[in-house]
Amino acid sequence: MSISGPLKVNVQILRGAEPAIGPGKALVLDAIDRTGSISAAGRDLEMSYRRIWLLVDSLNHAWIKPVVETRVGGGKTGGAHLTAFGKQVLAGYRGIEARMVAAAAGADFDWLIDALKPED
């Protein structure tokens, strides 16, 4: 999820009625890329293993190629990683987010920010 000051942009790419990727799935991909493990990514994001596994399964079924590959075994022989295609999907998604944040800049955005009440 892209946040720039008080602006938060949520982008979803749909496959039919189901999200192929959105802010949550992008965070999952980031965490797997960072940790090299589905279970470690789940701990990092405070999600159950089942929940994160279902998100990975959904991601892998939404695209023409797998975005995450896993190997049984843990340690040096096991774990999970983004495929080259998965890295492209994540980079494309993050690029769209960044362009949306940049597109929001301007007089309308400035006016809306100035019209906000101060926080208590």
Question: Could you report the per-residue pLDDT of 78-114, keeping only the tens digit for each?
Answer: 699 999 999 999 999 999 999 998 888 889 988 998 9
Q: How far from 55 is each of 38, 67, 100, 103, CA to CA, in Å?
A: 10, 11, 24, 29
Domains and CATH numbers, the chain: 2-114 (1.10.10.10)
| 1 has pLDDT over 60 | no
Q: How far apart are CA 106 and CA 46, in angstroms?
A: 36
Q: Whole-prediction pTM value? A: 0.85
Q: What is the arithmetic mean of pLDDT over 36-58?
A: 96
What does pLDDT average to over the chain?
Answer: 90
pLDDT digits (tens, 9 = 90+) for 58-78: 999 999 999 999 988 655 656
